[in-house]
Structure 1
Amino acid sequence: MTVTTRESIAARILAGELLFILNGHLIRVPQQWLSAHPGGALTILHFVGRDATDEVEAYHPKHVLEKMRAFSQGPVELSADGWVPLLPPICTGWIRKLSPDGSLHWHKEATPEYSENGSSSQVLLVKKLDAPHTSGPSLASIQPPPTTLSLKTQSQHSAAYKQLHKRIFAAGLYQTRYISGYGPEVARYIFFSLCSYFLYQRHLFFLSAVFLGVLWHQVVFICHDLGHVGVTHSWHRDRLIAIFLADFVGGVSIGWWVDNHNVHHVVTNHPSHDPDIQHLPFFAITPAFFKSLYSSYYKRELTFDRFSRAVITAQHRLLYVIMSLARFNLYRLSYRHLWITRDDTGRARGGRWAWWLEVSALVGFLFWYGRVLHGCGSWQTGLMYLLVSNVVPSPLHVQIVLSHYSRSTTDFGPFESFPHRQLRTTTDVICHPYAEFLHGGLHLQVTHHLFPRLPRHNLKEASYLVKEFAREQGLEYAEFGFFEGNGEVLDTLRGVANQLRGVADSEIHEAMNAKTD
């Protein structure tokens, strides 16, 4: 069988083909699959020209991996340390768009900014370009910048991770614990629901709102599992359950969350690409956001304006205040996502039925929740119920930021292995076994990021194997206590705020000197 060279693959990528490497073989993704991929288009685009073996095997079950063989173009040319990666065009702002005549052409949506440090592989997107571009990416633009990482070492990490994954399978950790795992959780959901209902019937509206908020807080955890197809391991069954719990019970679109979360997993903590850290004007966990970065996920510039400056300088003081109201932003993002995807008919993720079912479920949520608020008797009591029920789940948002906000946001480029990237950008939260249900698996994010489809109730057992793997590979397995983790996040936010104040003072000083001159 003919071996495809790196030069040939680079030329085909420049011609618009979607190619990545899987177990030493070239996989060609049909253009029509880009919009149909259940994991979203961006999760493919970020691996064009790269070896995606570890990521693909982590995110897909065996029957899907077997289907991928049909798209193999044969073996590729490998170095002694494996595939030498190319830089995906999306990393430098290039995407393919439809022309009026139906053909595809290259479009540059942003300008790349390379690190001033010649040894760094950092590439950020800093400016949206509105002017049309007739050319496309060049051979030079898809060559990765220099890296300080050893390709040999990264290859060793990857090989060791594959062995770890085999151990996880052999230990039976992909088997869902329905009775001992989800049984107690379902009992808790029913208990919180009944408490909220009976307290409401007795006009104890404040306590009713508290229990509804606790229910929403807890239900999110199983919705997270369902979004990863980690409960029944059937996309359709998990999505149906998730739409009921997330959309109808909680009022948040599971489709939006999955779309957002899948991207977060493959480009964790990248300032230009990970939507989970793109929270201007309220938070900036790296000074890179001072540059008004372009978001490849939101397709817009993250403008760093005067309001952003004012908020960011006090972000460490405002963290818990803003987080207390964060659930309202989830509603906004949910409705925005469903509006944007209203014409998305080609999805393998359920086609139109999933979209319509989500819309119907959200309408149902607005109906029953609206009736609850109206039944409070007065607008003041209704407002209280609205605020309490939505503020009570706010610890969830704090739990989410603990996993990543204090971790590295450096971009090491396509040379970095999957396990190295996930361990570098993620941390665990140490908690007492009796408090684990309050964290709902979010305290074991390192293992979850390495094995996202792993059933949540098996994460703890798997984490022992991951810690052993990290020690053997000389990698950091970060974990903090809950309060220590909060301190780490606040230190990160405070550090960025102090840097911003330093920049502002420097600008004022320069302006005064210029005026004096």
Structure 2
Amino acid sequence: MAVENKFITTEELRKHNKPDDLWIAIQGKVYNVTNWSKEHPGGDIPLLNLAGQDVTDAFIAFHPGSAWQYLDKLFTGYHVKDFQISEVSKDYRKLVSEFAKAGLFEKKGHGVIYSLCFVALMLFTCVYGVLYSDNFWIHMLCGGLLGFSWIQVAYLGHDSGHYQAMMTRGCNRVAQILIGNCLTGISIAWWKWTHNAHHIACNSLDYDPDLQHLPVFAVSSRLFHSLTSVFYGRKLTFDPLARFFVSYQHLTFYPVMVVARFNLYLQTFLLLFSKRKVPDRALNIVGILVFWTWFPLLVSFLPNWTERVLFVLASFCVTSIQHVQFCLNHFAANVYVGPPKGNDWFEKQAGGTIDISCVSWMDWFYGGLQFQLEHHLFPRMPRCQLRKVSPFVRELCKKHDLPYRSLSFYEANVQTIKTLRDAALQARDLTNPVLKNLLWEAVNTHG
């Protein structure tokens, strides 16, 4: 005897959006993920951000076909009565299916091996130059090489975090700790925590942690209203100090990027030693301790404190190129306030990202992230395939009248600085401004 389907409406589904009552729908079928959210490999934040909604597109983007078999045990027995699929979603899902049949999610190429060899060569050269040369400029070059190796290591960590870059899941997990924690001092657990939230809520001012940089930066005047960060669970206070910093953010952007790595170290420690549940906390802490053993030891072999400080600054200056790149991909794109929605996945990713155009032989330099929209739409796709799928994404955006922004590195910098300057000028024009001083007057006088 056939079992009669039970139905609920979209409005009824929306009521199940709390940590202790968390339902989602996938292709019209409703699942109770309240308990599963605590075990979800991607953390509970993606599920909480999309709670009470149909999340089909996000599920397809982040999960391989093998993940569908695990849904049955979470099925509530309900279907969404007024379930509808937009034309954009239909086309997006068709693309995913075609790319999967072509094996584009599985063909990783040899990029990982090449990158690992390149990183090993740079690290060896850096250590050799520090230990066996007395030349100041050799030491500075070694600092730059170390910074460049961190950039390439970060791309490898990014790859392994999104898909299985190594042969097995266990090797992938070990690689994450080694190349993330041990080599860079930045916890893979912290990266996953923030990065998954960023992908789900791309460019939401109150849900995306990658846009929440007060009191130093504000990419939109909407942040002047002291929004509450849902991710951090605290208010992003726009006080006189924040207003002062934001008023000069277009001037301080590049200097801040040079020292941005200090903030990443701080964020790593704050998470690993917090009360929050952290996957593999012990392994992450051990990895961080490895970094804070070898890095200070390497610096200590330099002859004096002047060279030690300049060596660290040289490495940070080179790495700042990558920090700038991360900002170029999103700071000048569209922003919004509020939670992400499951039914406009493609639209939000297209609106919130900017690609960096470059010739194919420079793909290694950008680590695949120059195809930012393609990466956001297909986060499981190896970077070596992103250039191939770019024309299809561009065509789909054109078909549905959605933005597809691809700027040169220079143009993206110009647009980012313009965005920061526009917000800076708005911060200065607010009523009841902060107390002015000579620096304030000097900057305002010269525009």
| TM-score (norm. length: structure 2) | 0.90
SS at match of 1:258: helix
Match of 1:159 in 2: 90
CA displacement at 1:416 relative to structure 2: 4.7
Match of 1:40 in 2: 43
Match of 1:88 in 2: none
Partner amino acid, structure 1, of 2:64? P
Partner amino acid, structure 1, of 2:315? S
CA displacement at 1:70 relative to structure 2: 1.8
Q: Determine whether 1:381 maps to 2:307.
A: yes
SS at match of 1:393: helix
Match of 1:17 in 2: 21
* C-alpha RMSD over aligned residues: 2.1
The separation in 2 between residues aligned to 1:218 and 1:233, in whole angstroms, is 20
The separation in 1 between residues aligned to 2:243 and 2:17, in whole angstroms, is 40
The separation in 2 between residues aligned to 1:328 and 1:317, in whole angstroms, is 20
Partner amino acid, structure 1, of 2:91? A
CA displacement at 1:230 relative to structure 2: 4.3
SS at match of 2:39: coil
Match of 1:137 in 2: none
Match of 1:4 in 2: 7
The separation in 2 between residues aligned to 1:258 and 1:415, in whole angstroms, is 21
Match of 1:192 in 2: 122
Aligned counterpart in structure 1 of residue 358 of structure 2, from 420, 424, 431? 431
Q: Determine whether 1:305 maps to 2:239.
A: yes
The separation in 2 between residues aligned to 1:13 and 1:365, in whole angstroms, is 40
1:291-333 Cα deviation digits (max 9, x unpaired): 1111111121111122211111111111101111111111001
Partner amino acid, structure 1, of 2:71? M
1:180-214 Cα deviation digits (max 9, x unpaired): x2233223112211221221121332222111111
1:66-117 Cα deviation digits (max 9, x unpaired): 11122112342333xx35xxxxxxxxxxxxxxxxxxxxxxxxxxxxxxxxxx
1:250-287 Cα deviation digits (max 9, x unpaired): 11101101110000000111111100000011110011
Match of 1:29 in 2: 33
Match of 1:497 in 2: 424
Match of 2:438 in 1: none
The separation in 1 between residues aligned to 2:14 and 2:60, in whole angstroms, is 24
Match of 2:413 in 1: 486
The separation in 2 between residues aligned to 1:500 and 1:464, in whole angstroms, is 39
The separation in 1 between residues aligned to 2:123 and 2:304, in whole angstroms, is 23
Residue 373 and residue 176 in structure 1: after superposition, are their counterparts in 2 closer, same or farther (change >3 A)? same
Match of 2:75 in 1: 72
Match of 2:265 in 1: 331
Match of 1:61 in 2: 64
The separation in 2 between residues aligned to 1:178 and 1:53, in whole angstroms, is 29
1:220-275 Cα deviation digits (max 9, x unpaired): 11111111124138544322101101111111101101110000000111111100
- Flag structure 1 segments of 5+ consecutive residues without an equivalent: 84-153, 509-517
Match of 1:174 in 2: 105
SS at match of 1:158: helix
Aligned counterpart in structure 2 of residue 369 of structure 1, from 295, 306, 326? 295
SS at match of 2:31: strand
| 8 A contact 1:57–1:65 mirrored in 2 | no
SS at match of 1:417: helix
Aligned counterpart in structure 1 of residue 390 of structure 2, from 463, 470, 474? 463
The separation in 1 between residues aligned to 2:108 and 2:16, in whole angstroms, is 45
SS at match of 1:443: coil
| 8 A contact 1:5–1:77 mirrored in 2 | yes
SS at match of 1:392: helix
Partner amino acid, structure 1, of 2:25? I
| TM-score (norm. length: structure 1) | 0.78
Residue 437 and residue 13 in structure 1: after superposition, are their counterparts in 2 closer, same or farther (change >3 A)? closer
User: Whose relative contact order is higher, 1 or 2, with alpha carbons under 8 Å and at least 6 apart?
Assistant: 2
The separation in 2 between residues aligned to 1:246 and 1:222, in whole angstroms, is 9
Residue 199 and residue 504 in structure 1: after superposition, are their counterparts in 2 closer, same or farther (change >3 A)? farther
- Flag structure 2 segments of 5+ consecutive residues without an equivalent: 436-447
Residue 184 and residue 505 in structure 1: after superposition, are their counterparts in 2 closer, same or farther (change >3 A)? same
Aligned counterpart in structure 1 of residue 139 of structure 2, from 205, 223, 226? 205
The alignment covers a number of residue pairs equal to 426
The separation in 2 between residues aligned to 1:10 and 1:400, in whole angstroms, is 33
| 8 A contact 1:228–1:452 mirrored in 2 | yes
The separation in 2 between residues aligned to 1:411 and 1:194, in whole angstroms, is 47
Partner amino acid, structure 2, of 1:52? V
Partner amino acid, structure 2, of 1:498? L
Partner amino acid, structure 1, of 2:67? V
Residue 205 and residue 11 in structure 1: after superposition, are their counterparts in 2 closer, same or farther (change >3 A)? closer
The separation in 2 between residues aligned to 1:309 and 1:411, in whole angstroms, is 20
1:25-69 Cα deviation digits (max 9, x unpaired): 0011133x3222211111101111111001011111222221112
**Quick check: 309-318 or 430-439, which moved more?**
430-439
The separation in 2 between residues aligned to 1:12 and 1:390, in whole angstroms, is 46
Match of 2:177 in 1: 243
| 8 A contact 1:230–1:455 mirrored in 2 | no
Residue 258 and residue 415 in structure 1: after superposition, are their counterparts in 2 closer, same or farther (change >3 A)? closer
| 8 A contact 1:314–1:497 mirrored in 2 | yes
Partner amino acid, structure 2, of 1:300? R
